[in-house]
Chain A
Amino acid sequence: GQQVMQIPQYQHVQEGEDFTTYCNSSTTLSNIQWYKQRPGGHPVFLIQLVKSGEVKKQKRLTFQFGEAKKNSSLHITATQTTDVGTYFCAGGYSTLTFGKGTMLLVSP
């Protein structure tokens, strides 16, 4: 079945540094979604990418979908302590296959 791999598993940065998490699928994806889960919370939807090569921005967050629609990335510029949490990518249409997530810690 479809597998979605995410790296790194964990990253600890100083506030103000940039952060990137990468997502790779074993199969071509119809779309990819990104979610954020704060410590003690539940996953919250961030964005959905559908088109090959698509790039979307949300303030300091930049999301990319690869040309082959098999990989994606999330880049955060100048991290803040409020960015702390686990970021998940998920691929699929009716059902989603989630990556295992990247846990981001930000030290002030």
Chain B
Amino acid sequence: DVKVTQSSRYLVKRTGEKVFLECVQDMDHENMFWYRQDPGLGLRLIYFSYDVKMKEKGDIPEGYSVSREKKERFSLILESASTNQTSMYLCASSPHGREQFFGPGTRLTVL
């Protein structure tokens, strides 16, 4: 079975802190994605990556950056966390053009 893991299930940070969310997949998938999920807004794509060191902006990249130094790992970085970044963050991976496999999510609260 494909496994996508995320570094934390719950995270509480303070405004202005730098936050790292880590995602690891074990199926050698080319594509990896970061979404945030908010009530009433569904899943919104923040950033995605087609390959190592490649990154593309999604629909809501402002306030975020990403890093993909190894194929299996895709990191989401909040340079200076703000309260409006309180959300559920979901990582996913997929082979090209195929279904996405999601991690369990990280619920981030920014105080």
Name A residues whose Cβ lies closer than 8 Å to a Cβ of B: 1, 33, 41-45, 48, 88, 93-101
Contact = CB atoms under 8 A, between A and B. Distances in A.
Interface of B: 31, 33, 40-45, 48, 50, 58-59, 90, 92, 96-105
Given A1-B59, A45-B100, A95-B48, 17 more contacts: A33-B99, A33-B100, A41-B104, A42-B90, A42-B103, A43-B100, A45-B101, A48-B98, A48-B99, A88-B43, A93-B97, A94-B50, A94-B96, A94-B97, A96-B100, A98-B42, A98-B43
A43 B35 CA distance: 11
Contacts of B48: 94-95
Contacts of B59: 1
A43 B102 CA distance: 6
Contact of B31 (A1, A33, A43, A94): A94
A43 B97 contact: no
A95 B96 contact: no
Contacts of B41: 100
A100 B42 CA distance: 4
Given A43-B90, A100-B40, A95 B99 contact: no
Nearest to B103: A42
B45 A95 contact: yes
A96 B93 CA distance: 12
23 contacts: A1-B59, A33-B100, A42-B102, A42-B103, A42-B104, A42-B105, A43-B43, A43-B92, A43-B100, A45-B100, A48-B98, A48-B99, A88-B43, A94-B31, A94-B50, A95-B33, A95-B45, A95-B58, A96-B100, A98-B44, A100-B41, A100-B42, A101-B42
Contacts of B58: 95
Contacts of A41: 104
A41 to B, nearest CB: 8
Contacts of A94: 31, 48, 50, 96-97
Name which of B43, B103, B105 has the most chain A CB atoms within 10 A of its CB: B43
